[in-house]
Amino acid sequence: MTQPQPVPAPAPPPVCPRHPDRIAYVRCQRCGRPTCPECQRPAAVGIQCVDCVRDAARQSRPARTAFGGAVTGRTPVVTYTLIALCVLSYVLQLTVPGWTQRLAFAPVLGESEPWRFLTAAFLHSQNQILHIVFNMVALWSVGPFLEAMLGRWRFLALYLLSAVGGSVMFLLLASPDSLSWFTWLVGASGAVFGLFGAVLVVLRRTGRSAGGIVGVLVINAVLGFVLPGVAWQAHLGGLVVGAVLGTAFAYAPRERRLPVAVGACAGVAVLLAAAVLVSYGAV
């Protein structure tokens, strides 16, 4: 006589762990858990859940350029911010009485108001609009490339220290017994020439042609001695600082990239400060 056999209860349909109210027949290729359409992420093979994708992103190291910059195609925020600050400052120069006089650099004022060594780089000649136009075009031309190659903080340090280096060189080559001690210095040229010096080293390091940059440097060097009112001293100071930092950034060993970069920036800052103290101490 045949005995009736109990029928096993049907297994409940699989549900998404993140959304238990949703049935999910697709499983993550990595962890095997069910995943609903909202939690599915396309992978190289099959589908992965959003949790596995997030965990993989945490564990993976971001791609870097040969000099430490992140290979992410990010917007050159630092470059655009520096351009915006220069343009804003120029507008304030034209609209706010005394703005230029409070921030411009002159050797006679640098000892008592040291912030002028940097703030002068965000000012430009009020009577020559081409002054700011040429500097901003140059910054826009080389800034995004260097920012991508070096990374944001290295690029910013390069720009600011080159700007200070231009003012320091202007001080070192001025004489307390001449008109140069009381001459105003404004413009981002020192910082821009620092970028030129750094990009020259970076291009050489990567085996690319640097002929275009060399041509620009030669033309500007000649113009600095031919045209009146051009502070070639600031160009020279920015170029030297940019080349030194560019060399440190470009040739640092991969495993010691960060300490070399920090040490180079700190070393340049100390040398610039020492040069200022010695110069004023000899007056």
Task: Give domain status of residue 34, yes or no.
Answer: yes
Percent of the chain exceeding pLDDT 90 equals 55
Residue 74, C-beta contacts closer than 8 angstroms, at least 6 positions apart: 148
Please identify which of the residues 89, 162, 167, 189 carries the catalytic annotation. 189
214 domain residue, yes or no: yes
Provide the 10 A C-beta neighbour count for residue 233: 21
Distance CA 103, CA 240 (A): 24
216-226 pLDDT tens trace: 667 766 665 55
In this structure, are 106 and 204 located in the same domain?
yes
State which residues form the domain around 247. 77-281
Number of domains in the chain: 2
What distance in Å separates the CA atoms of residue 142 and residue 188, rounded to the nearest whole number?
A: 14
Residue 68 region by backbone torsions, left for phi larger than 0, else alpha for psi between -120 and 50, else beta: left
Average pLDDT, the chain: 86
* Cβ atoms of 202 and 250 closer than 8 Å: yes
Do 133 and 25 belong to one domain? no
Give domain status of residue 177, yes or no.
yes
Instruction: Identify whether 162 is a catalytic site residue.
Output: no
DSSP character at residue 18: S
> Model's pTM, two decimal places?
0.76
Catalytic-residue membership of 19? no
Of 89, 124, 167, 235, which is the active-site residue? 235
Q: Residue 22 carries which DSSP code?
A: S
Q: With cut-offs at 50, 70 and 90, classify the pLDDT of residue 152.
A: very high
